[in-house]
Amino acid sequence: MRIGQINLILILLGALGLQSAQAGIVTNGSFESDVVPPAGYTTLPSLVGWTIDITRSAANATGIEIQAGVAGSANTGSNLVELDGIGSTFIYQDLATSPGQQYFLTFAFSARPQYSNCVGTPTPANCQASGGASINEDGTENHMQVLVGAPGALSVLFDGTQNGVGAFNTSWSNPNVFFTASGTTTRIEFGDAGISDGYGTFLDSVNSDITSAPEPGTMLMIGAGVVGIAISRFRKTR
């Protein structure tokens, strides 16, 4: 294979990997910039980079609950946010974006385990069921919505549930969603759409990551180009 062909393939493969190579644009996506007592939790009126959407949150959701090892392990670092820590809470961050540019958003979502204080080996003696009177940590308790768009014109980009019944620790899923920016500011918002009772819907690792990505059609063309070069070279060497 000639050097030119090798370089072209490397360029094409590099373009395919562009979405993972660029830097993220989310501030404090893993919630490590806010101080939480070890194996404890705190409720703050806002977090570094994050604000409560009072128009969507429950009336009693006046703060954001951030935990470190209280009812499950974080996906990244030591901290996580419980979006129903007080009542159903929606939090947002406004990002600087380029109009017409496509972005992809990744985040970590877990149900609150039915059993809290149970993380570790051996299981702590004070391991007990979480949720108070409402102990059923299924999809009615752990229901997340992700909204994206220009401030004041958001649309639901993700709507999903998790089941924590019988779980002794968090079980993180990592959805990937795409959006196209309509302006220079794009709001991303995460919230608990389940029963508002102070239990459920864990969020972490939002800054893994929002990055610009090639259009799906462009990615298919690049992939076809790589395959075409390989087939051409194979025929010439037969």
The answer to whether residue 151 scores a pLDDT higher than 60 is yes
E strand intervals along 51-127: 51-52, 64-68, 80-82, 90-96, 102-106, 108-110, 115-116
Q: What is the pLDDT of residue 211?
A: 54
Structure tokens at 237: 């060497």
The answer to whether residue 99 scores a pLDDT higher than 90 is yes
Sheet holding 211-212, edge to edge: 176-180, 102-106, 211-212
Beta bridge partners of 178: 104
Strand 176-180 to 102-106 pairing: antiparallel
- Nearest-angstrom CA–CA distance, 238 and 235: 5
- 135-146, pLDDT tens digit by residue? 789 999 999 999
Q: What is the pLDDT of residue 2?
A: 56
**Would residue 11 count as lying in a domain?**
no
Q: What is the pTM of this model?
A: 0.80
Q: What is the pLDDT of residue 120?
A: 76
Q: What is the pLDDT of residue 232?
A: 53
**Would residue 215 count as lying in a domain?**
no
Q: What is the pLDDT of residue 11?
A: 41
**Would residue 221 count as lying in a domain?**
no
CATH code of the domain containing 156: 2.60.120.260
**Would residue 104 count as lying in a domain?**
yes
**Would residue 4 count as lying in a domain?**
no
Q: Pick from 61, 26, 57, 33: which is nearest to 47 by CA?
A: 33
Range of the domain at 106: 25-209
Sheet holding 143-150, edge to edge: 51-52, 90-96, 185-192, 143-150, 153-161
What number is the average pLDDT over the span 176-183?
92
- Nearest-angstrom CA–CA distance, 122 and 3: 58
Higher pLDDT: 104 or 142? It is 142
**Would residue 99 count as lying in a domain?**
yes
The number of beta carbons lying within 10 Å of the beta carbon of residue 53 is: 17
The label of the residue with tokens 């025929």 reads 235
147 close to 154: Cβ distance less than 8 angstroms? yes
- Nearest-angstrom CA–CA distance, 53 and 63: 10
**Would residue 191 count as lying in a domain?**
yes
Q: How confident is residue 124, by pLDDT bands cut at 50, 70 and 90?
A: confident
Min mean pLDDT across 30-39, 113-122, 153-162, 195-204 is at: 113-122
**Would residue 42 count as lying in a domain?**
yes
The number of distinct structural domains making up the chain is: 1
What number is the average pLDDT over the span 177-198?
94
